[in-house]
Amino acid sequence: MKKFERAFFILILLCSGFLLSAETADSAPVQPGTETAENVIDSYPGSAVADMQSADKNYLLAIVNSQFSNLFLFSVNRFIGRTEFSKISIGSIRENFSNPWQWDQSQFVTNQLGHPYQGSFYYVAGRANNLNLYESALLTVAGSLVWEIGCERSRSSLNDLIVTTFGGISLGEILHRLFLEVYYAGSPLAFILSPMDGFNMLVSGTKPPDPGRKIHSLSLTAGGGYALAEGIQPDAGMLHMGTIRTGVEVVYGSPFDTGVPVRDPFSHFELTLNAGGGYPLFYDVQLFTDGMLFSFVPLTSSGHKANIGMSLLFDCIWTGNVNFSSAALAATAKYRYDFTETVFFESRFHAGWMMLGASNMFIDDESAVRNYGTGCNVKMDIAFCFSRFGTLRITGLWYGMVMINTEYTSYGDMVSCTYAKASYSIPLTDKMALGISDTFIWEESFFSKYSSARRWTNSADLFLEWKLI
């Protein structure tokens, strides 16, 4: 590795140490009867704050299950898919131990959605066996190392290791908690949400402890509209298309209800997933996650409620033209002011270090390359709820990264991505609303060896929203 890459990897290790401190900093026991807004624990099983309480850790089963997921996926690739990269040998494993790691050029969706989801299996194997966040994170690193060195013929990939770890932590903790929520609600969808949780129940013969119902809000959306896009192919011009889309938004453990700080990482998180498509050849998947690691409460009086802390963010935008993902550690501030019982204002703000960003930008008329970098991101979301007059919501995100891999680019080259969305919805019933939205996504590169490129999408939609919780 070059000096810059070594320094970057050291920063990643320091960030991992910070996650440990987030897990343990507030683990001091709380004496019965002293729970206050400044001194609260979450009784969620497996949390470091609760010190696992009566839950027993099963390290052996956690390791076996995490590696079983590697064996299963490898077998699918080798014997069903018959892929070249799965034709491993003793020689290929030996080479992976000795050869330097690379920044690979695999498909964007494979690296930025497939690998984080794969990492969630390693992570959940730990959480399902009552390991805490940090222990499960180490299990995720181990699972990814085994995969990179022993389950693929190609050179081991540093970007895969990083995104599998941090993406796996974010998705794994969210899916694990949602599994418990849905399982104890009596729905078979729990096993689809987190197959590893279900598999662990099968092999261990035990049920996980019930953490209680903690989903603050859950809504589904469906609709369609019209979109403009430029940059799907070089020199293709602007495309006009009709679109359809659906989405889900989950808020788990609202930071505004009780005004207590977050002590158990991810005891409050937010998940937004949108998916859609249109003709010709257009698809649109947007994933945004925000898992709060810890927080403190600066004020809870006269209608004001706030939480300030740190969050682990994993975002991925995968469309027919714009491809960008980010794993970030960010300072977080969430604020709410209640004018009346039904009229309120909410804001969410994140700003921090993008540990690893990835994009897929054209460098000439035919070639697109995967670019990896580090930098900063800023996210803002504000909402005005006017009771029966509806809700106005504005979201803005910006990511800026400096290139780390320099096979196709130079140090100092940059890629930025901007996401902006405005929506307004009017309630039709207590559980259903009709709304309109406009979403704009812009990605731009600044390369020294090649011409800078830009691409964008703008879509206007009419949607229905169902509030399930």
- 12 lies in the same domain as 120: yes
Q: What is the mean pLDDT of residues 36-42?
A: 42
- 165 lies in the same domain as 244: no
Q: Is pLDDT of 18 > 70? A: no
Q: What is the mean pLDDT of residues 32-46?
A: 42
Find where tokens 């694990």 sit: 176
Q: Is pLDDT of 466 > 70? A: yes
CA-to-CA separations, 382 to 349, 438, 441, 454, in angstroms, rounded:
9, 15, 18, 28
Helix-helix angle 133-150:59-75, to 10 degrees = 30
- 111 lies in the same domain as 57: yes
At residue 197, the pLDDT reads 97
At residue 69, the pLDDT reads 95
Residue where a domain stops, chosen among 178, 204, 230: 204
- 116 lies in the same domain as 239: no
Segments forming the whole domain that contains residue 16: 3-204
CA distance 68 to 33: 44
Straight-line distance from the first to the last Cα atom of the chain, in angstroms, rounded to the nearest whole number = 50
Task: Evaluate whether residue 278 is within a structural domain.
Answer: yes
pLDDT digits (tens, 9 = 90+) for 418-432: 999 999 999 999 999
At residue 326, the pLDDT reads 97
Domain CATH number, residue 439: 2.40.160
Structural domains in the chain (count): 2
Q: Where are the alpha helices (DSSP H) in 238-390?
A: none
CA-to-CA separations, 284 to 169, 244, 320, in angstroms, rounded:
24, 10, 7
Q: Is pLDDT of 23 > 70? A: no
At residue 255, the pLDDT reads 79
Burial (Cβ within 10 Å: 0-12, 13-18, ≥19) of residue 200: buried
- 365 lies in the same domain as 438: yes
At residue 201, the pLDDT reads 95
At residue 34, the pLDDT reads 39
At residue 188, the pLDDT reads 85
Task: Evaluate whether residue 209 is within a structural domain.
Answer: no
- 122 lies in the same domain as 232: no
At residue 15, the pLDDT reads 58
At residue 2, the pLDDT reads 54
Task: Evaluate whether residue 458 is within a structural domain.
Answer: yes
Of the given ranges (1-10, 122-131, 178-187, 437-446), which has the lowest mean pLDDT? 1-10
Q: What is the mean pLDDT of residues 119-140?
A: 96
Of the given ranges (53-67, 131-145, 149-163), which has the lowest mean pLDDT? 53-67
Q: Is pLDDT of 47 > 50? A: no
At residue 412, the pLDDT reads 81
- 444 lies in the same domain as 357: yes
Residue with the larger pLDDT of the pair 249 and 25: 249
Average pLDDT, the chain: 86
pLDDT digits (tens, 9 = 90+) for 231-254: 766 566 788 889 999 999 999 998
- 168 lies in the same domain as 300: no
Residue 358 near residue 112 (C-beta atoms within 8 A): yes
Residue 234 near residue 246 (C-beta atoms within 8 A): no
Q: What is the mean pLDDT of residues 66-83?
A: 93
pLDDT digits (tens, 9 = 90+) for 300-314: 777 888 999 999 999
At residue 447, the pLDDT reads 83
Q: What is the mean pLDDT of residues 2-10?
A: 51
How far, in whole angstroms, is CA 333 from its chain's centroid? 18
Residue with the larger pLDDT of the pair 353 and 15: 353
pLDDT digits (tens, 9 = 90+) for 397-406: 999 999 887 6
Task: Evaluate whether residue 298 is within a structural domain.
Answer: yes
- 160 lies in the same domain as 242: no
pLDDT digits (tens, 9 = 90+) for 270-283: 999 999 988 876 78
Task: Evaluate whether residue 365 is within a structural domain.
Answer: yes
Q: What is the mean pLDDT of residues 375-391?
A: 94
Task: Evaluate whether residue 114 is within a structural domain.
Answer: yes
pLDDT digits (tens, 9 = 90+) for 89-114: 899 999 989 899 999 888 899 999 99
At residue 24, the pLDDT reads 47
- 190 lies in the same domain as 240: no
Task: Evaluate whether residue 153 is within a structural domain.
Answer: yes
Helix and strand numbers (H, E) in the chain are 9, 12
Q: Is pLDDT of 407 > 90? A: no
At residue 33, the pLDDT reads 39
The pTM for the full model equals 0.89
Residue where a domain stops, chosen among 153, 170, 204: 204
At residue 35, the pLDDT reads 43
Q: What is the mean pLDDT of residues 58-72?
A: 96
- 136 lies in the same domain as 232: no
Residue with the larger pLDDT of the pair 175 and 83: 175
- 156 lies in the same domain as 68: yes
Task: Evaluate whether residue 47 is within a structural domain.
Answer: yes
Residue where a domain stops, chosen among 185, 204, 223: 204
The confidence band for 13, taking pLDDT boundaries of 50, 70 and 90, is low
CA distance 414 to 120: 30
